Structure 1
Amino acid sequence: MNAHQILSRTYHVAVLMGGWANERPVSLMSGEGVAKALEARGHRVTRIDMDRQVAARLAETAPDIVFNALHGVPGEDGTVQGMMDLMGLAYTHSGLATSVIAIDKELTKQALVPHGVPMPGGRIVDSESLYERDPLARPYVLKPVNEGSSVGVAIITEGGNYGHPISRDTAGPWQEFPRLLAEPYIRGRELTTAVIDGPAGPRALGVTELVPKSGFYDFDAKYTEGMTEHVCPAQIPPAIAALCERYAVDAHRLLGCRGASRTDFRWDDEQGEAGLFVLETNTQPGMTPLSLVPEQARQQGISYEDLVEMIVAEGLRVHGRLGGASDG
Structure 2
Amino acid sequence: MVVSGINMQRFGRTGVLMGGTSAEREVSLRSGAAVLDALRAAGVDAVGIDLQQNWADQIAKAAIDTAFIALHGTLGEDGCVQGLLEIMGIPYTGSHVMASALCMNKRLCKQVLGQAGLSTPMDIRIEVTGPERYPVFVKPVAEGSSVGLHRISSQQEWQALNIQSPAAWMAEMPVNGVEIAVSVLAGVALMPVEVAPKSGVYDYASKYTVGATEYFCPARLPMETVRYCMDCAEKAVAACGCTGAPRVDMIVGSGGEAVILEINTLPGMTATSLLPKAAAVAGIDFQTLCLRILETASLEYGQGVSK
TM-score (norm 1): 0.87
Q: Kindly tell me: are residues 166 and 74 of structure 1, through their superposed partners in 2, closer, same or farther at Cα, counting changes over 3 Å?
A: same
- How large is the RMSD of aligned CA atoms in angstroms? 2.0
Distance in structure 1 (CA, Å) of the matches to 2:47 and 2:37: 11
Instruction: Please state if 1:181 is matched with 2:170.
Output: yes
Q: Kindly tell me: are residues 246 and 321 of structure 1, through their superposed partners in 2, closer, same or farther at Cα, counting changes over 3 Å?
A: closer
2:91–2:305 contact (8 Å) kept in structure 1: no
Corresponding residue number in structure 1 for 2:237: 252
Distance in structure 2 (CA, Å) of the matches to 1:183 and 1:90: 37
Instruction: Please state if 1:153 is matched with 2:149.
Output: yes
- 1:130-279 residue pairs with structure 2 within 5 A? 130=130, 134-136=131-133, 138-157=134-153, 163-164=154-155, 166=157, 168=159, 170-171=160-161, 174-175=163-164, 178-197=167-186, 202-269=187-254, 272-274=255-257, 276-279=258-261
SS in 1 for 2:145: coil
**Unaligned runs of at least 5 residues, structure 1:** 158-162
Amino acid at match of 1:297: A
- Residue by residue, what CA displacement relative to the aligned partner does 1:37-80 show, whole Å, maximum 9, x if unpaired? 11001111111111121101111222110111000001001111
2:66–2:305 contact (8 Å) kept in structure 1: no
- Residue by residue, what CA displacement relative to the aligned partner does 1:190-215 show, whole Å, maximum 9, x if unpaired? 11100001xxxx11111111011123
Q: Kindly tell me: are residues 142 and 317 of structure 1, through their superposed partners in 2, closer, same or farther at Cα, counting changes over 3 Å?
A: closer
Q: Kindly tell me: are residues 17 and 186 of structure 1, through their superposed partners in 2, closer, same or farther at Cα, counting changes over 3 Å?
A: same
Corresponding residue number in structure 2 for 1:24: 25
Distance in structure 2 (CA, Å) of the matches to 1:51 and 1:90: 21
Question: Which of 296, 304, 307 is the equivalent residue of 1:314?
Answer: 296
1:232–1:296 contact (8 Å) kept in structure 2: yes
1:187–1:268 contact (8 Å) kept in structure 2: yes
Distance in structure 2 (CA, Å) of the matches to 1:250 and 1:77: 21
1:259–1:311 contact (8 Å) kept in structure 2: yes
Percent of aligned positions that are identical: 37
Q: Kindly tell me: are residues 177 and 92 of structure 1, through their superposed partners in 2, closer, same or farther at Cα, counting changes over 3 Å?
A: farther
Q: Kindly tell me: are residues 317 and 107 of structure 1, through their superposed partners in 2, closer, same or farther at Cα, counting changes over 3 Å?
A: closer
Amino acid at match of 2:147: V
Corresponding residue number in structure 2 for 1:47: 48
**Unaligned runs of at least 5 residues, structure 2:** none
Amino acid at match of 2:182: T
SS in 2 for 1:235: coil
1:7–1:313 contact (8 Å) kept in structure 2: no
SS in 2 for 1:240: helix
Instruction: Please state if 1:110 is matched with 2:111.
Output: yes
1:255 to partner: Cα distance: 1.0
Corresponding residue number in structure 2 for 1:323: 306
Amino acid at match of 2:144: G
Amino acid at match of 1:14: G
Distance in structure 2 (CA, Å) of the matches to 1:316 and 1:305: 20
Distance in structure 1 (CA, Å) of the matches to 2:305 and 2:4: 13
1:107 to partner: Cα distance: 0.8
Distance in structure 1 (CA, Å) of the matches to 2:63 and 2:248: 33
SS in 1 for 2:60: helix
Amino acid at match of 2:4: H
- Residue by residue, what CA displacement relative to the aligned partner does 1:83-120 show, whole Å, maximum 9, x if unpaired? 11111111110111001100111111111111111111
Corresponding residue number in structure 1 for 2:283: 301
